[in-house]
Amino acid sequence: MSKSKNVWEEFFADKKRGGHRSSAEEFLSKEAREKLYHLNGGKTLLDFGCGAGELLVYYSLEYEKLVGADFSASMLEEAGKRVRGRKCENVNLILANDKNVWEKLDFSFDRITAAEVIQYLTYEKVDNFIASAMKHLNKGGKIILFDLLDPRLYPLWKIGLFSRDFGVDKILRRIAFETRTIFLATLKNRPKDILGYTHKPHTIENIANKHGFKMEYVKSMYYEYKYHAIIS
């Protein structure tokens, strides 16, 4: 790994999809509708960690001006194809990370959102992200962080407790598999879990409060082990 890139930047360097439960448009449009319900209006939107633009193209139907930012060139290339394919002329895409994105923006937003991204940030980075985001929010704006991994539920999902055909034998096999995966990843100095880090809702709420915001905790509709943090 090159020294200037972090482990996740390296991980996403050649990725082309956001890793939704299904990549069928029917599912993505339903997921986007859930998110648009929580985004709840506004005219301008920053989709931080927009990935391949799988949700962004749906957001673009409801907003006047949008920016999609991501540190993965391959993801942004896919997003570009999607945005052009659907003639989303109100979307601008920028290559940026959680630190330098702020200096690349030339207007502020009614909504700053990130879906399935916060899991790749440490608490310290989340704190910095919220501190910077609040400076780029219009009056009455909201920061809406979608799909954080809930540390109370994620381990249960990983061992298969939420699968429709769960059984003790399957759970034991999953535990053995996960243990082996963690062991091998440690040996190879790779991320132990490609889904990133879990974040306690209470700690995210404390960060939001520290910056003078309130946080509403909402369970994800399509992912049993994820939650949304609506910060306003």
Ligand X SMILES: C[S@@+](CC[C@H](N)C(=O)[O-])C[C@H]1O[C@@H](n2cnc3c(N)ncnc32)[C@H](O)[C@@H]1O
User: Whose Cβ is closer to ligand X: residue 97's or residue 171's?
Assistant: 97
Sole binder of ligand X in the list 32, 39, 44, 49 (CB under 6 A): 49
User: Whose Cβ is closer to ligand X: residue 74's or residue 90's?
Assistant: 74
Q: Which stretch binds ligand X (CB under 6 A): 59-67, 69-77, 155-163, 199-207?
A: 69-77
User: Whose Cβ is closer to ligand X: residue 97's or residue 181's?
Assistant: 97
Sole binder of ligand X in the list 32, 83, 112, 117 (CB under 6 A): 117
Sole binder of ligand X in the list 90, 92, 97, 138 (CB under 6 A): 97
User: Whose Cβ is closer to ligand X: residue 32's or residue 164's?
Assistant: 32
CA 98/CA 122 separation, integer angstroms? 11
Q: Is residue 12 at the binding interface for ligand X, with CB under 6 A as the rule?
A: yes
Q: Is residue 8 at the binding interface for ligand X, with CB under 6 A as the rule?
A: yes
User: Whose Cβ is closer to ligand X: residue 217's or residue 222's?
Assistant: 222
Backbone angles phi, psi at 46, to 5 degrees: -105, 120
**Burial (Cβ within 10 Å: 0-12, 13-18, ≥19) of residue 231:** buried
Sole binder of ligand X in the list 46, 54, 63, 149 (CB under 6 A): 54
Q: Is residue 150 at the binding interface for ligand X, with CB under 6 A as the rule?
A: no
Q: Which of 128, 66, 123 is nearest to 97 (CA)?
A: 128
DSSP H helices in the chain: 7-12, 25-39, 56-59, 73-85, 123-135, 154-158, 168-188, 201-210
Q: Is residue 115 at the binding interface for ligand X, with CB under 6 A as the rule?
A: yes
Q: Which of 109, 137, 155 is nearest to 208 (CA)?
A: 137
The two structure tokens encoding residue 91? 């979307």
